[in-house]
Structure 1
Amino acid sequence: MKKILKYTAISLGMLAGLPSCEVERLPETAISDQTFWRSEGDLKAASNYLYTYLPTFGTLTPQGYSSTYNVTYASEDIWSDDAFGLASNNISDGSRLAPATDANYTANYLLIRAANNIIEKASRAAVNTAQSIIDRYVAEARFFRAFGYYNLVQRYGDVPLILKTLDETSAELNVPASPRASIFDQIYQDLDFAAQKLPTATTLGTADFGRISNTAALAFKARVALFEGTRSKYHNYGEPAKHLKVAVDAAKAVIDSKQHELYTGSYFDIWQLAGEGRQNRENIIVRQYGVSLTERVVTHSYYRGTLENGNMNPTKSLADSYLYKDGLPINKSPLYKAPVVSTDVFVDRDTRMSDTFMKKGDPMMTTKPIFDIAPLVFNKTGFMFRKTSNVDDWNTQASTIDRPILRYAEVLVTYAEALYDLNGSISDADLDLTINRLRQRGGVAKLTNTFATTNGLNMRDEIRRERRVELAQEGFRYWDLIRWKTAEIELPKPILGNYFFKAEFGTVAAVRLTADNYILVQEASFRKFDPVRDYLWPLPINEIALNPSLTQNKGW
C-alpha cells in the first residue's frame, strides 16, 4: 500500500541536484544520467521523488536533502480565525517583513525543476518502453509541476514561468514574472494532460494506492479553478466566470466518474489508520507515512507535537460555525442553551464538531488516558483539536497515520460553491448532490432554498460554512479568507476561546475573560491585516537580487 515511501536512491541523485535559492538552476555537475531513463522502472523511480513534496504534517524535508525547509503545512490554520497557537505569529499579527529567503518559494521551484527534468527526458525510454507508459509518468510530472505553480501563485501572484530545466548560463534566469493568468492557463494544460493520461483510482487499486490518478488531477484542477475564480471575482480582476466554469466542470467530472465516495465509517476515522488506503474511497490525494513502527520509512508526531502541546488550538469562531442538528446556526437555533458544563457545547450539534474537537470522555494520551478539559497552559483557547489524535501515537511520537490532502468531500463543496458563484443560485437537487450529503453524516437537517429563505439564511454563507466545518483543521481557512477578500474583516477580530467553566478549568493565573465569560486569547489590537499589502506574500529579497527583472509585491 505504501510503496511510494520506498524511494529509489538513484532517482534522488538524478533529480535532487544541489539545493539552491535560485529559481530552477540545474548545475550540470549535479546530474549524471547517461545510463538512466531507459525503462519504466527508471521513470517510476524518478517520479517517486516528486511525491516527497506533497504537504506533510509539519515541515518539509525533500528526500535526498540534509536540510529541512521551513515550509509548515500542518499549521496554516493559526494564520486564520480558526486556530491559535501558544503565541501570536507574524502573519496573523501583521508583523512580518519581506524575508531574505523563503522556502515556500524555493522548495516549489525545486519541485518544478524536478518535474521539468522528467518531462524533458522521459522520451529517452522509448526504445524499451511503450508510449503509454512514458505518457503516464510525464503526466505525473506535469501534475506536480502544476502543483508547484499553484503553491507559488497562490502566495506571490505573478512569478517566473519556467517550463524547462536551466543551467547557470540560461537566459531564463533573468526573465520577469509571468502574469498569473498565463500561469493558470499552463496549470490547466498540465492538469488536462494528467487527467487524460493517468490511470483511474480503480486501476491503481491497492497496489499503487497513493499515486496520482486521473481523478486526482481533475479534483486538483477544481481546487485551483475555484481559488482563482472566486479570487478574481471578489478582488475584481481577470475572468472569474472562466475559472468558475472550469471548477464546476472538473468537480462534476470527478463526481460523474464514480471513482470516489464519502467514507462510510466515522468522520473521525478518516484521520486514523482505519481510514487509510483504497478501501476509503474518499481519499483522492494523500501524503503517505511509514508502514508500521517496525517498518519505518517516515513518521510524524503531529498529535503530540502540534495538537496536544498547544501549537494549534480551535477558536470560538470555529466552534460557533457548527450548526445545530435542526440546520440552524448558534444565533438562530432554539436548541441553543447557555453552557453550564463543557460537554454542553456539543449537545445537539453537528457531530463533526465532536470528531474535530476534544470533549470530556475522549481518549487522550498515555499520561492522561481520558480527556476532561483542555489545560490552558498549553491549549490557550480552552479547546483542543481531535483529528489524528491517537494515544499510541502520543506515546511513540512516531505516527504512521496518513495525511489526506484532497478528499472527495472537498470536491462536493467545491462544486456547490463554484456553481453558486457562477450562477448566483443553486438548485435543491445540486444541494442534495453536495452539501446535504455532508450534512447527513454530521446529523444535520437538509439545506434547501426554501429553508434558507424561511430562516433568513444567506445561501452563499451557508455553502461557505459547510466548507469551513467539513475541512476544519485541514489548512483551508486562511486561503479561503484570502480569495473571498474577507481576510481584512475576519482576521483583525479578537480571538476568543471556550466558555470559562470555572469548576472544570480550575484556578488559572492571568486568564482573561470577556464580559460574557469567554476566554479572551488575543485582543483585536494585536491582530493586523493590511488589505493593500497582505493579500499577496512578499517575494524573497535574495530572489530579486538574483533576478533584477522581478518586482516586489505592493506594500512590501
Structure 2
Amino acid sequence: MCRTNLSISMKSFTQYVVIALTMAVALPACNVERLPETSISDQTYWRSEGDLKTAANYLYTFLPAWGNDDVWSDDAFGLAANNISDGTRLAPATDGNYNTNYNLIRAANNIVEKAPRAAAAASQSAIDRYTAEARFFRAWGYFNLVQRYGDVPLILKTLTENSPELSAPASPRAAIFDQIYQDLDFAAAKLPTHTTLGTADYGRISNTSALAFKARVALFEGTRAKYHNYGEPAKHLKAAADAAKAVIDSKQHDLFSGAYFDLFQMAGEGRQNRENIIVKQYGVSLTERVLTHSYYRSSLENGNLNPTKSLADSYLMKDGLPIGVSPLYKAPVVSTDVFVDRDTRMSDTFMKKGDPMMTTKPIFDIANLVFNKTGFMFRKTANIDDWNTSASTIDRPILRYAEVLVTYAEALYELNGSINDADLDLTVNRLRQRGGVAKLTNAFATTNNLNIRDEIRRERRVELAQEGFRYWDLMRWKTAEVELPKAVLGNYFFKAEFGTIASVRLTPDNYILVQDASFRKFDPAKDYLWPLPINEIALNPALNQNPKW
C-alpha cells in the first residue's frame, strides 16, 4: 500500500521532526502558566522567518493522536468500565488535560509576543502568518479547557514566577469564547488558503482550518448555552453557521471521492483528499515518518474501544428510515444480517464477517468476546500491515469537511427551528448519498413522523463515529443525563458463531449485556463540568472547584 501523492517531501518531514524535537527541548514542561526567562528569550533568536516557522512547528506536536475518547460516551466500551461514562470518577490531584493545554497556550503566547522581533529580516505577512498560527493554537488550547472545566484563567501573555496573574481567579466562559473568536478571526484573515499551502506545506493550518474550527467551537457553545439555559445561544449559533458557510463557499474543500473506509487508510491521505481540513500527520511509510501509532492493534483489535448496540442501532436502513420503523429491517439470524440494507458507512465502521483482519487471523468471522466485550469491533483504520508492525503511519483526521456540513445543518436548525430542503441537500444529503441512504426532506420527515433535529444529530453521530465527538455532543445537548445511565448493550448473541461462553451475560431478548444500568449514573448538577485538578486549586486559592466536586 502506498500513497500516490506524498503529503509533503521527505526533506520537509525530516525538518519537521528536528524542529519539533528542538522546540520540545527549548520549551520544557514546567508549571502551566509560567515561562522561564531561559526559554527562547535571548536576543539571538526571533531574527528571521525561519525562526518563526521553527517556533510555530512546536505547536503542531499538541494536535491529538488517535485515542479512545468514545468510551466516555454511549458509542463505545473498553475492556473494563470507564469512570467518566459510568459516573464513578473522583476529582484528580493532577490532570494532563489541564496542564498540557496551558503548556500549549504558553508556547503560543510566547510566539505572539516575540514574533515582531523578526521585523528586520521577515516580511510583515510572514510575521502575521506565524502569529496567526500561534493564535489558532491558543484558541485550540482554550477551547479544550473551557469545554471541560468551564471558567478557567485567561492568560494572554508569558508569565514569570512572580506574575500576579498566577493568583488571579478564573475568567468567565463568555470572555474566553470572545477571545477564542478574536484569535480565530485573526487566523482566518492572515493565514493562506488550503490551495496556497500546496504540497510542501500540507498539514499546516490554513484560513479554512481556522473557520472550520470556529464553526465547531461556536456550535458547541451555542447549543450548550441553548440547552443548559445560559448566555447568548443565538450569537454563537450564528457564528457557527456563518463560519461553516464561509468554508463551504470557499470551494477549498469537498468530500473525499473514494470510499468512506479509505478516508482512514493511506489512500485518504495527502493534499489530493480535500475533505481533510486538519490532520495529525504521522508519515508516508515506516522509512519516511514523523511518528507511528498502534491504534488498530492496541485499541481496536485488543478491545480498548468497541462499538455498542446503541451506536449500531443509529445507522439507518437504505430507505432512510430507522430500524424501528423501516419495513426493510429484519431481526438478525446470523451476524452479517446486521448490515443488510443498511447505511454502508456501518460496514465501513464495524468489522463484519469476511473483512481483512490481522496477520494471525487474516479474515474476520466474529468478535472475540474476551477482548471485544460488546461483540462488535470497530473497523476504521483496520490494516493488516499495521497490525503486523504495530507502527502505523496512517494520519488522524481531526477536522473533516463532513463535520463542517453537519455543523452548518445543525446550526441553521438550532438557530431558526427549521432547515429547508436546499440546505439539507447541501449538507446532510451529501453524506447520506455516500452511505447509500435515501434523501432527507421535510416532507419525508413529516410523512414518516421523524424529527428533523433528531435526524441531523443522527447523521452527525454515524458520520463521525469512532472520532471522539459523541461524548461532547451529549454534554452540549444536555442529553448525557438520559443516555449515559442506560445499560451498555452489545451485539445480538449469535450462539452458533460466538460459541458457548460461560461468562457472557445476556438480556432477555438475547443481546450481550456489557454493563448493567445499576452500575451507571450521571449527576446533572455535577457531571456536565469536569473537576479542576486539586493541585491547581492548592497552587491558586482564587480558583473555585466546580460544583459538587
TM-score by length of 1: 0.96
Provide the C-alpha distance between the structure 1 equivalents of 2:41 and 2:18, rounded to a whole number of angstroms: 16
**Aligned counterpart for 2:322 among listed residues 323, 329, 336:** 329
Asked if 1:540 corresponds to 2:533, the answer is yes
Task: Please list every run of 5 or more consecutive structure 1 residues that lacks an aligned counterpart in the other structure.
Answer: 58-73
Asked if 1:17 corresponds to 2:27, the answer is yes
Asked if 1:173 corresponds to 2:161, the answer is no
Q: One-letter code of the match for 2:523?
A: D
**Aligned counterpart for 1:286 among listed residues 279, 286, 292:** 279
Conserved in 1, the CA contact under 8 Å of 2:23 and 2:58?
no
Q: Which residue of 1 aligns with 2:245?
A: 252
Conserved in 1, the CA contact under 8 Å of 2:234 and 2:415?
yes
What is the DSSP-based 3-state SS (H/G/I as helix, E as strand, rest coil) of the residue aligned with 1:28?
coil
**Aligned counterpart for 1:465 among listed residues 433, 458, 478:** 458
Q: Which residue of 1 aligns with 2:3?
A: none
Provide the C-alpha distance between the structure 1 equivalents of 2:13 and 2:138, rounded to a whole number of angstroms: 18
Q: Which residue of 1 aligns with 2:331?
A: 338
Q: Which residue of 1 aligns with 2:4?
A: none
Asked if 1:399 corresponds to 2:399, the answer is no
Provide the C-alpha distance between the structure 2 equivalents of 1:319 and 1:11, rounded to a whole number of angstroms: 42
Asked if 1:419 corresponds to 2:412, the answer is yes
Using a 3 Å threshold, how does the CA distance of structure 1 residues 179 and 238 change in structure 2: closer, same or farther? same
Provide the C-alpha distance between the structure 2 equivalents of 1:182 and 1:223, rounded to a whole number of angstroms: 18
Using a 3 Å threshold, how does the CA distance of structure 1 residues 174 and 437 change in structure 2: closer, same or farther? same
Q: Which residue of 1 aligns with 2:59?
A: 50
Conserved in 1, the CA contact under 8 Å of 2:13 and 2:289?
no
Conserved in 1, the CA contact under 8 Å of 2:13 and 2:288?
no
Pairing 1:252-271 to 2, within 5 Å after superposition: 252-271=245-264
Q: One-letter code of the match for 1:78?
A: V
Report how far residue 296 of structure 1 moved: 3.5
Q: Which residue of 2 aligns with 1:38?
A: 47
Asked if 1:119 corresponds to 2:129, the answer is no
Report how far residue 15 of structure 1 moved: 7.6
Provide the C-alpha distance between the structure 2 equivalents of 1:383 and 1:100, rounded to a whole number of angstroms: 35
RMSD of aligned alpha carbons = 1.2
Using a 3 Å threshold, how does the CA distance of structure 1 residues 9 and 431 change in structure 2: closer, same or farther? closer
Using a 3 Å threshold, how does the CA distance of structure 1 residues 11 and 342 change in structure 2: closer, same or farther? closer
Provide the C-alpha distance between the structure 1 equivalents of 2:92 and 2:36, rounded to a whole number of angstroms: 25
Conserved in 2, the CA contact under 8 Å of 1:4 and 1:211?
no
Provide the C-alpha distance between the structure 2 equivalents of 1:196 and 1:301, rounded to a whole number of angstroms: 37
Conserved in 2, the CA contact under 8 Å of 1:14 and 1:32?
no
Conserved in 2, the CA contact under 8 Å of 1:8 and 1:48?
no
Report how far residue 286 of structure 1 moved: 0.1
Provide the C-alpha distance between the structure 2 equivalents of 1:525 and 1:312, rounded to a whole number of angstroms: 22
Deviations 1:121-149 (A, max 9, x none): 00011001110011000000000000000
Conserved in 2, the CA contact under 8 Å of 1:23 and 1:173?
no
**Aligned counterpart for 1:481 among listed residues 466, 474, 480:** 474
Q: Which residue of 2 aligns with 1:438?
A: 431
Conserved in 2, the CA contact under 8 Å of 1:12 and 1:46?
no
Report how far residue 16 of structure 1 moved: 4.5
Q: Which residue of 1 aligns with 2:233?
A: 240
Q: One-letter code of the match for 1:437?
A: R
Provide the C-alpha distance between the structure 2 equivalents of 1:13 and 1:399, rounded to a whole number of angstroms: 24
**Aligned counterpart for 1:185 among listed residues 169, 178, 186:** 178
Conserved in 2, the CA contact under 8 Å of 1:500 and 1:517?
yes
What is the DSSP-based 3-state SS (H/G/I as helix, E as strand, rest coil) of the residue aligned with 1:404?
strand
Deviations 1:316-366 (A, max 9, x none): 000000000000001010000010110000000000000000000000000
Report how far residue 231 of structure 1 moved: 0.1
What is the DSSP-based 3-state SS (H/G/I as helix, E as strand, rest coil) of the residue aligned with 2:215?
helix
Q: One-letter code of the match for 2:380?
A: K
Report how far residue 291 of structure 1 moved: 3.1
Report how far residue 7 of structure 1 moved: 3.5
Q: Which residue of 1 aligns with 2:94?
A: 101
**Aligned counterpart for 1:363 among listed residues 328, 331, 356:** 356
**Aligned counterpart for 2:150 among listed residues 135, 153, 157:** 157
**Aligned counterpart for 2:38 among listed residues 6, 29, 39:** 29
Q: One-letter code of the match for 2:63?
A: L
Conserved in 1, the CA contact under 8 Å of 2:20 and 2:57?
no
Q: Which residue of 2 aligns with 1:68?
A: none
Q: Which residue of 2 aligns with 1:202?
A: 195
TM-score by length of 2: 0.97
Provide the C-alpha distance between the structure 1 equivalents of 2:26 and 2:172, rounded to a whole number of angstroms: 28
Conserved in 2, the CA contact under 8 Å of 1:143 and 1:194?
yes
Conserved in 2, the CA contact under 8 Å of 1:4 and 1:210?
no
What is the DSSP-based 3-state SS (H/G/I as helix, E as strand, rest coil) of the residue aligned with 2:450?
coil
Report how far residue 4 of structure 1 moved: 5.8
What is the DSSP-based 3-state SS (H/G/I as helix, E as strand, rest coil) of the residue aligned with 2:17?
coil
Asked if 1:84 corresponds to 2:94, the answer is no
Provide the C-alpha distance between the structure 2 equivalents of 1:209 and 1:512, rounded to a whole number of angstroms: 49
Provide the C-alpha distance between the structure 2 equivalents of 1:16 and 1:93, rounded to a whole number of angstroms: 40
Using a 3 Å threshold, how does the CA distance of structure 1 residues 513 and 192 change in structure 2: closer, same or farther? same
Q: Which residue of 2 aligns with 1:137?
A: 130
Conserved in 2, the CA contact under 8 Å of 1:7 and 1:48?
no
What is the DSSP-based 3-state SS (H/G/I as helix, E as strand, rest coil) of the residue aligned with 1:226?
helix
Q: Which residue of 1 aligns with 2:545?
A: 552
Q: One-letter code of the match for 2:440?
A: L
Task: Please list every run of 5 or more consecutive structure 2 residues that lacks an aligned counterpart in the other structure.
Answer: 1-6
Asked if 1:314 corresponds to 2:325, the answer is no
- 1-10 or 514-523: which moved more? 1-10
